[in-house]
Amino acid sequence: MVKNGEIQSPALGVLHEFGHALHDLENNSNFIENSSISIPLYHDKEEQITIDNIETPAALKLGEPIRKNHGGKAVLVPTPTYNRK
């Protein structure tokens, strides 16, 4: 559940984690170091990059709510693709 009470699907959460794996596989440290980002609402640069560049575009295409920070709350939902906007 994102800050305003909307729910992202568990599938989108898995995509977010795959984004971290992609950064690791691509050894994308140069991209992270050279990105112009601000961290205050995120725990670190990689979280902001993953949310901004992988999770958010997918959420928009799927009609799911987007996060503007790395916060959230786990909630039980009936299916992996369930979301509520």
pLDDT, residue 39, reads 60
Percent of the chain past pLDDT 70, that is, above it, reads: 80
Tens digit of each residue's pLDDT (9 = 90 or more) over 23-42: 877 765 555 555 555 566 66
Domain count, the chain: 1
pLDDT, residue 24, reads 78
pLDDT, residue 23, reads 81
Residue with tokens 């990689």: 46
Tens digit of each residue's pLDDT (9 = 90 or more) over 53-67: 999 999 999 999 999
| Integer Cα distance of 26 and 6 in angstroms | 32
Say which amino acid occupies 62. Answer: L
Q: Residue 71 belongs to what domain range?
A: 1-85
The mean pLDDT value for 72-79 works out to: 92
Q: Which two tokens stand for residue 17?
A: 């984690």
